[in-house]
Amino acid sequence: MSVLLTCDSLEKSFGSRTVFTGISLSLHDEDRMGIIGPNGAGKSTFLKILGGEMSPDKGNVAVRKGVRLAMVSQDPSFDTTMTVREVVTAAARESEDKELAVSRILSRVGFNDPSAQSGTLSGGWKKRLAVAAALAAEPDILLLDEPTNHLDVEGILWLEKLLKSAGIASIFVTHDRYFLEEVCTRVAEINRAYPLGLFTAAGSYSRFLEKRAEFLKAQRREQDALANLVDKEIEWLRRGAKARTRKSKARIDDAMDLQVKLADVSERNKSGTATIDFTSSGRLTKRLVVCDHIEKSLGGRKLFSGLNFTLGPGARLGVLGSNGSGKTTLIRCISGEIPVDGGEVRRAEGLSVVYFEQNRESIDPATPLRRALSPGGDTVMFRDRPQHVAGWAARFLFRAEQLDLPIGNLSGGERARVHIARLMLQPADILLLDEPTNDLDIPTLEVLEANLEDFPGAMVLVTHDRYLLDRLSTTLLSISAEGETEFFAELSQWEQANSAKKPVTKAPKASPAGKNAPTAARKKLSYNEAREWDGIEATVATAEDVLHSKREQLELPEVVTDPTRLMKAVDELDAAQAVVDKLYERWAELEAKQAG
């Protein structure tokens, strides 16, 4: 694998706030790298620096000569007067078969009507158009910022397949854990928890989680070891150490350095996540909402009809469907915000509904954070207990100096946390959640999921986050673009049914058995493979010994107390594990061939 791009010691600040510092990494020609990190860590800024749209304050980015980059932004925009074909053609590289290449890309991305005006496209199709335009530039590296935002589940599955088959390197910022698991060959997290500001691991997202856990465990051991050393030095100082000798002065200086180092490691080991806790009304009414043969049309198109379901305490209905299929409209019908065209929605008397709207447009962007969190003063009432707005803000990871900032100046993830904070003040019989995960970082998502899992009331969940749907939904409702509805027990059942509906390419007919049908040649090991087979067990044992020694090295005090050696030890452990995994795959391959 050859290196396409490297960055060295990148640093970026906005005003007095340092976003990240000392970030270095390399991208190879076969990499599909996922970038994760908490809200405000600078992931989008980092991607813009790599793409040349922004300059770092320090450090540099080097791109191999001749390598082309293309960027897909988080919220792509186009000249609304241009058609889909015109947008892609304008981005395409000049060549003799340019028009043919554009047609192929449009077909690959799924556009059936290239003459459609780009300004009429939904958010999901705008994202597809941005990907098509980027691919038309024939890049060697594709950079994508939150590529799954605005895409429905089918669109995300399409994008996963596209990136894996594109044959180009890619770097993408995303919080979609299933997407990370399915697409990544490498994951990198930007986080101040790491001594170098960045932690990377080869493999899928689950592999990254394993490696990160090992590293953080070692870093906590480093903190414990440093704390013990500091305690000993403090005790020595308390005994009245003489500062007259050169040796004593050196030891006092070392003790001070140890305390600074301990403070640095302790600060890195701190973790902050929003505290999310929706309040249930505790109502035990068996039928909170009953939808009886409801139907709804918009613009002459039927969204759904004959739809029946009942929501009671503990019911969690996940809603799936393509963009524009009517998922948000269904939620608005349930809440009573808009009427149904047919059938009936019956709600329990005095029903308390909390609605998490997708666009979060209910807060004026000019409103200060203080007033958004506490409209009536500097005190909020949570579960009948008063809390000062500063303490309530801190619960959602806001600093005191942010309280007078306008909401419009906050990041998408921060605005999402404001919305959650406001909704948590309302006791609810039923939660209506329309894309609640948009812009939330993974730690906040995990807290949100844990709270929603424990919520005793009813819930309707519209989201493209398959992990959230899988974890929370007791029933899934699928709404098709044609207005058909169907219920499923779990996501895998929906995926199987969805795949079965797609046209399948027929395989060529086989020759009739016994009539000149060629007999499959029996697989046998070659001479070199036979030798490899004979020694594979010993080779695996040697590789496992190396792996064991790397694990032991990660436990050494002189390693865990040295951030540079610690990062190197984790990388060596990762490499040793990869060797063992590859050998076991080869062993299985040879065994299958031998048995064949």
pLDDT per 10-residue tile (average), the chain, 596 residues: 90 86 90 90 92 93 93 88 92 86 86 86 85 92 90 87 90 92 93 82 89 79 65 60 52 54 56 63 81 90 92 92 85 92 93 80 81 86 84 84 86 80 84 84 81 87 89 91 89 83 40 36 63 80 82 69 68 78 77 68
Report pLDDT for 264.
56
Question: In 3-state terms, what secondary structure has residue 306?
Answer: strand
Instruction: For 533-565, give one letter per residue: b (16+ CB within 10 A) or e.
Output: beebeeebeebbebbeebeebbeeeebbbbbee
User: What length is written for the chain?
Assistant: 596
Distances (CA, A) of 51 to 48, 67, 142, 429, 562: 5, 12, 9, 47, 33
CB 224 within 8 A of CB 266: no
β-bridge partners, 12: 20
**What dihedral do alpha carbons 35, 40, 42, 47 form, nearest 10°?**
60
Report pLDDT for 378.
87
β-bridge partners, 304: 296
Token pair listed for 222: 């480093």
Report pLDDT for 552.
74
Report pLDDT for 241.
52
Report pLDDT for 88.
92
**Closest of 213, 1, 168, 188 to residue 72, by C-alpha:** 168
What is the CA angle 127-61-18, rounded to 5? 85
State whether the Cα torsion 453-457-458-463 is positive or negative.
negative
How would DSSP label each residue in 350-376? T--EEEE-SS-TTS-TTSBHHHHH-TT
Report pLDDT for 572.
80
458/435 Cα distance (integer angstroms): 17
Token pair listed for 261: 């180092």
* 373 class by beta-carbon count within 10 Å (0-12 exposed, 13-18 middle, 19+ buried): buried
Report pLDDT for 28.
92
Distances (CA, A) of 185 to 43, 47, 68, 164, 210: 18, 18, 21, 10, 15
Report pLDDT for 543.
84
